[in-house]
Amino acid sequence: MDFVHMTVAYSNAVLVAILPHFSDYSKKLGLPISQPITAAQVQEFRPSPIKDFIGGGLMLTNGYWFAFNNGYVIGFRSPDNAFADQDPAANWPKYAYGKDNMTTNDAVALAREALTKLGYTPELLGCDAPPEWLHGPNDTKDGHHVPHCQIGWQR
């Protein structure tokens, strides 16, 4: 595998090239992010150092995080995401303890709806079948309920 000599010019060129993809993605999902996303909204950007591979990850100043690989947004996280927390055990109190606001089936339907908004057909991604994995919601040892879940399909 060959690597690119990372320069500021190269990093900025990759950022300029992929920002429209993040704007399109966030607009389709109706995320509360000013459009179009500009370099001024970027808190941190890490381009991929692999030659002939356009990609990277960025975090916006509002805490939203995106990842991009060779033409596609492949990852997204919203701010205050318990699953991305570096020390979730210490920081649980800042996350919403409480009751579930939707059923597991509702959460799966919401995930499928988001994929459809992004222009994917359920059959293409395999999400016309039940999820391969679903984590959460969870109950903590001290009796709190954490109404979060992660859903995934493998294709």
Percent of the chain with pLDDT over 90: 67
Assess whether 12 and 72 both reside in one domain.
yes
Rounded to an integer, the average pLDDT of 123-129 is: 91
Q: Considering the domain boundaries, does residue 137 fall inside one?
A: yes
Mean pLDDT check: name the lowest of 39-53, 73-87, 115-129.
73-87
pLDDT digits (tens, 9 = 90+) for 74-114: 999 988 776 667 777 777 666 667 888 899 999 999 999 99
Residue 9 in contact with residue 47, Cβ under 8 Å? no
Determine the structural domain holding residue 58 and report its residue range: 8-77
Q: Which of 50, 77, 104 is the endpoint of a domain? A: 77
Q: Considering the domain boundaries, does residue 114 fall inside one?
A: yes
DSSP letter at 3? B
Nearest to 111 by CA among 97, 94, 128: 128
Q: Which of 35, 61, 77 is the endpoint of a domain? A: 77
Q: Considering the domain boundaries, does residue 128 fall inside one?
A: yes
Q: Considering the domain boundaries, does residue 2 fall inside one?
A: no
Torsion of the alpha carbons at 38, 21, 56 and 75, rounded to the nearest 10 = 110
Assess whether 93 and 140 both reside in one domain.
yes
Q: Considering the domain boundaries, does residue 43 fall inside one?
A: yes
Q: Which of 45, 77, 109 is the endpoint of a domain? A: 77
Q: Considering the domain boundaries, does residue 3 fall inside one?
A: no
pLDDT digits (tens, 9 = 90+) for 22-36: 999 999 999 999 999
How many domains does the chain fold into?
2
